């Protein structure tokens, strides 16, 4: 992919991510733009593949965190247990 094409793709993705985040009322809409910049890859196929992997990772982290915090309460122990379970799996 040429540099100009990649630049335009990144700029448009960041712009639309910020506009969308702002329109739904997120407090830090510029963070959506940063995430969009970090998520743009060379091809559409690769971008969607990485997006699905990240979505699965977030869901997995949510499930593990929910179990850890419900069982052990909101303490440093539960955070340590979450990290011990999530880091090797992810």
Q: Could you read off the pLDDT of 5-34 as tens digits, one per residue?
A: 889 999 999 999 999 999 999 999 999 999
Which pLDDT value is given to residue 1? Answer: 64
Query: CB neighbours of 6 closer than 8 A, spacing ≥ 6?
Result: 40, 42
Q: Could you read off the pLDDT of 59-85 as tens digits, one per residue?
A: 999 999 999 999 999 999 999 999 999
Give per-residue burial for 50-72: e unless 16+ CB within 10 Å, then b. eeeeeeeeeeebeebbeebeeee
CA 76/CA 46 separation, integer angstroms: 37
Kindly report the pTM of this predicted structure: 0.64
């Amino acid at each position: 992919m040429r540099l100009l094409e990649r630049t335009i793709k990144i700029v448009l993705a960041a712009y639309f991510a910020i506009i969308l985040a702002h329109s739904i009322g997120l407090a830090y809409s510029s963070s959506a733009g940063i995430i969009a910049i970090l998520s743009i890859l060379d091809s559409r196929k690769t971008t969607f593949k990485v997006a699905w992997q990240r979505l699965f990772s977030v869901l997995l982290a949510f499930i593990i965190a929910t179990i850890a915090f419900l069982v052990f309460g909101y303490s440093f122990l539960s955070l340590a247990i979450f990290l011990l379970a999530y880091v090797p799996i992810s």
